């Protein structure tokens, strides 16, 4: 399960064409304009809740993309003609998450309801994005779509407002998207940033695991939810240097949270059940 961030060699020297100075994180992009001009606006809403070292993202004309920190190449991937944007964006944001030293991250969507964070967990295709979209449309504030940042000491979830990746089937399931703006579109995926976003950290109130089987909303044991987090392909538990503190941190967070498993016939039904749980103290 654990992996270190491998170094692949020295970073190629290319002039940075775009430098994004985000709160806590500088991202320098050296890429053809057709790529940099699309990637940069997607990253602009982000802020790193703990300071991260600058990331150099380079995309050569042959579509070979690399990510480097302190002149060490951390990843290298050839971008496809179609679907390159989700891949590149995922590499950049996953790098940011992997560089965290104190905060934890999991693969999950998250919103705040009445100022408290609800974290939506599930496998790819389980309906996380569509559930988050409907929750925001119904009045929740957007925290994140893919990567949820967690402060284990404060037991809070922090904003990581990457635009939602709305795939065609997601759009069909959601219907009307929440108020917001489309930031980019590539390979059939719309990158959509909701207008209603959480301003800061919110106390973690609940975790909801989306599952296709069963019916309705039911309590889930905290131990079972921790096992689910341990199975995720993208979480702090995947990094050897974070393993022990991530285990302790997630355990601590779960002790103060409510945990549910949810199977609903539609994102609207799922959102309704989550809101009902949030308002039932």
Partner 1 sequence: MSAPFLAAELDGEVVLLDVAKARLIHLDSAARRVWEACEGRTTAEMTATLGGPEQHLAESLRSLADAGVLWEEDGRWRRASLRWVGPR
Could you list the residues that contact partner 1 (CB under 8 A)? Answer: 1-2, 221-224, 226-227, 230, 237, 240, 243-244, 247-248, 251-252, 254-255
Name which of 1 and 181 has its Cβ closer to partner 1: 1
Judged by beta carbon, residue 257 or residue 263, the one nearer partner 1 is 257
Nearer to partner 1, 76 or 232 (CB): 232
Give CA 63 to chain center in angstroms: 24
CB of 231 to partner 1, least distance (A): 8
Tokens at 262, concatenated: 């949810």
- Using CA atoms, how far residue 213 sits from 109, 209, 216, 262, 265, in Å, is 20, 11, 10, 9, 10
Comparison of 28 and 222: residue with beta carbon closer to partner 1: 222
DSSP annotation string for 118-152:
EEEE--TTSSHHHHHHHHHHTTPEEEESSEEEEET
Query: Minimum distance from CB of 156 to partner 1 (Å)?
Result: 17
Q: Tell the smallest beta-carbon distance from residue 151 to partner 1 (Å).
A: 16
Compute the distance between CA of residue 119 and CA of residue 32 in angstroms, rounded to an integer.
36
Name residue, tokens 């703006």.
Answer: 181
Tokens in use for 25?
């994180």
Q: CB-based burial of residue 70 (10 Å sphere; 0-12 exposed, 13-18 middle, 19+ buried)?
A: exposed
* Shortest Cβ 52–partner 1 spacing (Å): 24
Q: Which token pair is 104?
A: 């934890």
Q: Would you say 28 or 242 has its CB closer to partner 1?
A: 242
- Least separation in angstroms between residue 201's CB and partner 1 is 21
Cross-strand partners of 158? 149
Helices (H), 23-177: 33-43, 84-98, 128-137, 168-174
Least spacing, CB of residue 245 vs partner 1, in Å: 9
Nearer to partner 1, 181 or 218 (CB): 218
């Amino acid at each position: 399960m654990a992996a270190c961030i491998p170094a692949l060699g020295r970073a190629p020297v290319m002039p940075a064409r775009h430098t994004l100075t985000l709160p806590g994180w500088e991202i320098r992009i050296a890429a053809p304009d057709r790529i940099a001009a699309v990637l940069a606006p997607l990253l602009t809403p982000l802020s790193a809740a703990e300071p991260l070292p600058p990331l150099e993202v380079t995309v050569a004309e042959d579509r070979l993309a690399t990510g480097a920190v302190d002149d060490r190449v951390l990843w290298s991937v050839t971008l496809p003609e179609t679907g390159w944007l989700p891949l590149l964006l995922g590499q950049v944001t996953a790098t940011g998450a992997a560089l965290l030293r104190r905060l934890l991250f999991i693969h999950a969507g998250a919103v705040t309801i009445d100022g408290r964070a609800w974290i939506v967990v599930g496998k790819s295709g389980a309906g996380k994005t569509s559930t988050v979209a409907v929750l925001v449309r119904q009045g929740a504030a957007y925290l994140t779509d893919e990567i949820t940042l967690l402060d284990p000491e404060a037991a809070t979830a922090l904003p990581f407002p990457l635009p939602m990746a709305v795939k065609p089937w997601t759009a069909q399931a959601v219907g009307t998207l929440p108020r917001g703006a489309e930031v980019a579109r590539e390979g059939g995926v719309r990158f959509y940033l909701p207008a209603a976003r959480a301003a800061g950290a919110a106390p973690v109130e609940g975790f909801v695991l989306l599952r296709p089987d069963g019916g309705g909303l039911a309590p889930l044991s905290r131990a079972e939810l921790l096992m689910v987090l341990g199975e995720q392909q993208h979480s702090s538990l995947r990094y050897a240097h974070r393993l022990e503190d991530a285990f302790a941190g997630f355990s601590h967070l779960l002790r103060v949270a409510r945990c549910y498993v949810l199977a609903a016939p539609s994102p609207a039904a799922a959102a309704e059940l989550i809101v009902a749980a949030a308002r039932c103290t």
